[in-house]
Structure 1
Amino acid sequence: VEVVKGMMFDRGYLSPYFVTNSEKMVAELENPFILLFEKKLSNLQPMLPILEAVVQSQRPLLIIAEDVEGEALATLVVNRLRGGLKVAAVKAPGFGDRRKAMMEDIAILTKGELITEDLGMKLENVSIKSLGTAKRVTVSKENTVIVDGSGDKKNIEDRVLQIKSQIAETTSDYDKEK
């Protein structure tokens, strides 16, 4: 059992080029913004305004999305290597309805918004205020750990109690583990 203060989920970086500490092979992001997007990102065009705002802030960015692929992933890697953007991208944890619930948990923990197109939210309209934040994020090949999210303590405690009652009520071993 590994005890972490914060939240850990079993998804690692999408490219080893996001690594900032080559000795430990992890991407360490201090005081990052966190973008939560429920769909795949294959083109960064809609994200340019938010990326520019993050670059201006000189803070790192963690992108958690269903997937980041193709041109979007290549562009992030190039910008990371050139030093213009401290970034790491990971796939969202879980599957289906469970994925949405886990993304909402991360949103509560980091005081960010889950960008969902079903609610009419468009990536190109997202402002820096919609991004979550945390004191530190560490991303390895297999796991992501978010430490000291800036979410409201009361909201986090309420969500923890809700999860504990769901664990007590479930009969599925798989659900209990998650």
Structure 2
Amino acid sequence: KKMAKQIVFDEELRRALKRGIDILADAVKVTLGPKGHCVALDKKWGAPSVIDDGVTIAKEIELPDPFENMGVQLVKEAATKTNDACGDGTTTSTLLAHAIITEGFKNIAAGAEPMLLKKGIEKATGAIIDEIKRLSTEVKGKEQIAQVGTITAVDKEIGDLIAEVMEKVGKDGVITVEESKGVKYETEYVEGMQFDRGYISPYFITNAEKMETLIEDPYILLTDKKISAVSDLLPALEKILQV
């Protein structure tokens, strides 16, 4: 048996969306800034989690009303995109989205044309971004990087570690963060390039005791094609034999 679909229009829909957006914004906004408060999240198992991260809080919010929940999902998407792009600023994104939607709904209720309003918001966004870029200060030097890292992680030790690693590898270096198995922060510097994959065949092993492969000055084949048979490699192998 198919479930009946609920359909709402115009002001009724906007009010439902707005209620959901208000609930999400109210839960997230208290975490804004370095003096922000924490939010307690109940879990089905174990003790509640105390969180001060906007996107983590947003991800936990689900409302029973489908239209209110739709509003939650819209703003949650904005926070998630910001987190994916920058790793921070999710609470600010949520509050900006909430403010834009609140004022937008007011203007629509007063008779504004929605598409013209959308174009106006997009133009204003572009102008604001340009002005923010003009006013911004580039982070330079180990000390400033440590300050930014400390504020973001709320931990001076992590901030100092980030600055140290970034200074060591340079702006073109690659930094990978992994969960530690111990209680201390550890750093490992790898020269050249590292692929986290093992050898495809045990016949590649050069040191049976250590079960490792060490090849000096090898030829490396880079391809964007799928290699499904040895015959795919024969032309390249024949070229190598001629060198």
Give the alignment's TM-score, normalised by structure 2: 0.22
Structure (1/2) with the larger helix percentage: 2
Larger Rg: 2
Higher strand share: 1
Higher RCO (CA-CA < 8 Å; seq separation 6+) = 1
* TM superposition score normalised by structure 1: 0.29
